[in-house]
Amino acid sequence: MLTISDLTFAFGTRTLFEDASVQLAKGWKVGLVGRNGTGKSTLLGLIKEAHQNPTKDQPIRFNEGASLGWVAQEVQPSDETILDVVLKADAERHALMTESETATDPDRIAYVHERLLDIDAWSGEARASEVLMGLGFTPEDLYRPTKEFSGGWRMRAAIAGVLFAQPDVLLLDEPTNYLDLEGAAWLEGYLRAYPNTVILVSHDREMLNACVTHTLALEFKKLNLSTGGYDEYLKMRAIKLSQLEAMKKKQDAERAHLQSFVDRFRAKASKATQAQSRIKMIEKMKDIAIPISERTVPFHFAAPDAQLAPPLLELRDANLGYGAGAQILTDVNLRVDPDDRIAIVGTNGQGKTTLVKSIARKLELMEGERRAPGSVKIGYFSQDQMDELTLGDTVFDHIRRAMPKDTLPAKVRAKCAQIGFPVEKVETKVEKLSGGEKVRLLMGLMAMEDPHILILDEPTSHLDIDSREALIYALNDYRGAVLLITHDVYLAEGTADQLWLVKDGRAKEYDGDLNDYKKLVMSADRDASASKAPPTKAAIVEEPVAPQKVDKAADRQKAAEARKAAAPLKKKADQAEKRLETANRKIAEIDSKLVEPGLGSEDMTKLMKARAEQQAEAEAAELEWLDASEAYETAISA
């Protein structure tokens, strides 16, 4: 479906790709991973450019006629409804539907209607509604004009549009940045069932494990493809690194042995020929390079100066909101203790941010009581604070202002380095920092206050996977209370031990874990709203039509006949799946042998060759299984 061959690309003086190659097949869900700044978004841009302006010898090529889809920008505010905007995203359907109302030539009319049937155009409104509601829109939202929605919700509509259009190759760049936990969970399921190829850039480890079939790692200017999710990729990378280290150790020993002979006998005439021969052998040895992993600077949240007795903070009979007529939450009774680790869940717009702002005294209570010791210190982080950084000032300037008692530049620079800004970065102006660097600066400034309570509202949107891992370690080491709002399930599961649920104007403790909550959301809220027939324009003014009686026996008989006719396809899929399982089992056996101590170079060569053969067999079997399974599903659903 997509082939990249010997791609080399430089941005200014920095080379991002050097002879990078990979081939992606139809139906693969590919997670594109790599550290921030390695070029993931640049690669997506090159793929778009190659599709829009194809040339004969370009390194990025698509299958003939393949369509490409991506989220270009948020939906623009207008009087068009959200549903109409999403329906228009399928350009072919929209054009044919428009033409069906104006065409006069009988042959053309016949073609248009035949094509509309082929692409299932008449179910378009229901399919678009399902996608929109999966991403958090209510049935009532579908007919509201786009200008009534915030930028974040219009971005969701843009995501809904590209999902509805179902291009042959779908590019998604950090889609969960615009979704809540519930929307992210729905998207995982949607992508797993998506019939075409997906390239997903994400730092959400849970999503990369849940819905991708392959992981494409961008590291050391190359593209390395492996089967499975992110955790499987990490295991494979560790195995490869172990193999390289073992091979390098053997090579070093062999080189030392040869060099010892040369040093001993170089001066002896009788051994000169043998010494020269060994010198040539040493010169011909190709060094085995061990990739050096980039170090992730840890986060650090110091323990509060003084430990306070519980509770650190209480809300009693509190009503929260933004003044008269803008009450968001009522009758809130919650408390925070020194060792609490709380994840706050609930769909966007329910009032999670209102709750934490009220706790942090960024927002005064409308009614009720907020009790806390006078000495309690609260550290508050949200994405909105990025706008509070002083433009034109450097990292050094911001840290110096937070250290009024330590005016020595050396101490300020030491604190900058501790937060994660080395010498070459301390004089960088904040507008030149990346999103992840701004997050680091803000968290560092917050940590310098030694808070008793940390409140983090979506802290990971600009952090890569390694930095998210570092944040988990820091929060677990922190000796204070943590309140966390996040769509990153991996972060929440790694740090929180209790949940608060914000829903329907109330905020209360939730008796269950994240898995329980996800099941509740998917089985109740999402399924319920998806199962409701969304109100169409016609349904608003017309009486409902009584459902026709269904002949279930005939349907069962028809389904049985379809399964019987498609049995050869099922058998082919099962055989391919068994071949895939066998190949993967053999690969695992080979991998275990490769890391055994004392393995000779000849044996390693044989094992590596056998592994390559089994890897090729696994990929071929997987392609055959995907094609046969898709054909079988199509046959029995026809």
What was the pLDDT predicted at 524? 55
- Does 570 have pLDDT greater than 80? no
Number of Cβ atoms within 10 Å of the Cβ of 220: 13
Q: Concatenated DSSP letters for 334-349?
A: EEE-TT-EEEEE--TT
State the Rg of the chain over Cα: 30
Q: What is the pLDDT of residues 96-124, one digit of tens each?
A: 888 888 888 888 888 888 888 888 888 88
CA neighbours within 13 Å on the CB side: how many for 78?
10
Contacts within 8 Å (CB) and 24+ apart, 306-309: 306/375, 307/338, 307/479, 308/338, 308/373, 308/375, 308/376, 308/452, 309/373
Q: Which of 185, 189, 184, 181 is nearest to 501 (CA)?
A: 181
Per-residue pLDDT band for 288 (boundaries 50, 70, 90) equals low
What's the pTM value of the predicted model, to 2 decimals?
0.66
What is the average pLDDT across 116-141?
Answer: 87
Q: What is the pLDDT of residues 173-189, one digit of tens each?
A: 888 888 888 888 889 88
Q: What is the pLDDT of residues 320-374, one digit of tens each?
A: 998 767 889 999 999 999 989 999 998 878 899 999 999 999 889 999 999 999 8
What was the pLDDT predicted at 541? 36
Higher-confidence position of 206 and 597: 206
Q: What is the pLDDT of residues 373-424, one digit of tens each?
A: 988 999 999 877 777 888 899 999 999 988 877 778 888 898 888 888 888 8
Please report, for the chain, how many H helices and E strands are present, in that order. 22, 18
Distances, alpha carbon 405 to alpha carbons 196, 399, 478, 494, in Å? 60, 12, 25, 36
Cβ-based neighbours of 283, under 8 Å, separated by 6 or more: none
Q: What is the pLDDT of residues 506-525, one digit of tens each?
A: 999 998 888 888 777 766 54
Using CA atoms, how far apart are residues 78 and 85, in angstroms rounded to an integer? Answer: 10
Higher-confidence position of 550 and 518: 518
Average pLDDT, the chain: 82
Using CA atoms, how far apart are residues 190 and 179, in angstroms rounded to an integer? Answer: 14
Cα 485–chain centre separation: 17
Angle at 439 between CA 436 and CA 445, to 5 degrees: 145
Higher-confidence position of 290 and 40: 40
- Does 318 have pLDDT greater than 70? yes
Higher-confidence position of 262 and 221: 221
Distances, alpha carbon 498 to alpha carbons 184, 202, 371, 491, in Å? 20, 26, 21, 13
173 token code pair? 């760049």
